[in-house]
Amino acid sequence: MPGSASYLPGGFLSARRVTSIIVGAAIGAVFFKERVGVRRIAAAGLLVVGIGVDAARRVAG
């Protein structure tokens, strides 16, 4: 698999994939005027919480 997958550990790649989902939803809402309902906001919030938990776990050691 070319690109960053050859050089980065799996944890970083999964975090990048998750953040790209959030960024894609934000771009769709802002530039393409897609509807952002409660379910989409809740899902994005849950992803952010998961990233925060993972980051805190990594820092704590």
CA atoms within 13 A on the CB side of 10: 0
pLDDT at 38: 94
Between CA 12 and CA 16 the distance in angstroms is 6
Q: Three-state secondary structure along the chain?
A: CCHHHHCCCHHHHHHHHHHHHHHHHHHHHHHCCCCCCHHHHHHHHHHHHHHHHHHHHHHHC
What is the pTM assigned to this prediction? 0.65
Q: What is the pLDDT of residues 8-24, one digit of tens each?
A: 566 666 777 778 888 88
Measured over all CA atoms, what is the biggest interatomic distance in the chain, rounded to whole angstroms?
41
